[in-house]
Amino acid sequence: MLATDELMQKLPQTPLVQKALHTAVVYHNKTRRRISDELYLNHPLRVAAICQNAGGSESLVAEALLHDVLEDGMNANTQEKMTYEKLLADFGETIASVVLSLSDDTAIDDRVKRKQMSILRLKRAGKDALTIKCADMIDNTNDLVAAINEGHAVNWSVFHHTPQEKLDRWYENYQIIKAGCPDCPLLNKLKENLEVIRKSLV
């Protein structure tokens, strides 16, 4: 797995991508992932790299870098969360709308209702958002697949679901992406990961 600095260096050196990278650093650099306890910044960097390696545009890479700033970002200096209004002012409606479509509404306390709303937003999302969602799921499942292939135990407790429930949700998202963006170049890799996980649960 590539280190943070190496992932950054491989990104396009364009003003838009570098601006998105700076924002991701500000809002993710002091937080850690619940799944792996690694630096959270590594996740959007990897998602952006997956999109870039699949031939994604400059705007897609920028959106991938920003895809979690509304839901999970926190400015370590000001202790302020990113808002849609700030994202809109900084990056414009197209990018802000893609990020919003990929974000859980944290104002909804009920976890089940929050996830139901996320599914509805995903069904209405455009190709950029669906491609990023696919890359996001690939990154989220890569470590699980590696652990399974190496014969290590998988810690499913971090997902707040049973393994089968989480797998069913991933397959539901896969089907939504496939229906909305059938030519997404990342679909085969995601399906491959999900199949490895499915077979491990049999």
Report, as an integer, the average pLDDT of 155-184: 93
Q: Which residues pair with 32 in a beta bridge?
A: 39
| Percentage with pLDDT > 90 across the chain | 72
pLDDT band at 87 (very low <50, low <70, confident <90, very high): very high
pLDDT at 39: 87
pLDDT at 1: 58
Domain assignments of the chain as residue spans, ordered by start: 4-201
CA distance 200 to 180: 28
Report, as an integer, the average pLDDT of 59-85: 93
Q: What is the CATH code for 4-201?
A: 1.10.3210.10
- Greater pLDDT, 160 or 150: 150
Report, as an integer, the average pLDDT of 140-153: 92
In this structure, of 82-86, 102-106, 174-178, 190-194, the range with the lowest mean pLDDT score is 102-106
pLDDT at 3: 67
Among 87, 50, 93, 90, residue whose Cα is nearest residue 69: 87
Q: What is the DSSP letter of 11?
A: S
Among 67, 62, 56, 58, residue whose Cα is nearest residue 28: 67
CA distance 97 to 84: 9
Neighbours of 182 (CB within 10 A): 10
pLDDT at 163: 93
Report, as an integer, the average pLDDT of 6-35: 91
CA distance 120 to 161: 20
- Asked if 17 and 65 count as a contact pair (C-beta separation under 8 A), the reply is yes
Phi-psi group of 108: left, alpha or beta (phi > 0 → left; psi -120 to 50 → alpha; rest → beta): beta
Query: Rg of the Cα trace of the chain?
Result: 16
pLDDT at 35: 67
pLDDT at 2: 65
Quote the pTM value.
0.94
Report, as an integer, the average pLDDT of 140-164: 89
- Asked if 70 and 82 count as a contact pair (C-beta separation under 8 A), the reply is yes
Among 189, 188, 187, 193, residue whose Cα is nearest residue 166: 193
- Asked if 116 and 107 count as a contact pair (C-beta separation under 8 A), the reply is no
pLDDT band at 194 (very low <50, low <70, confident <90, very high): very high
- The residues near 190 (Cβ < 8 Å, ≥ 6 apart) are 134, 137, 138, 141, 174, 177
pLDDT at 202: 87
Is the pLDDT reported for residue 102 higher than 70?
yes
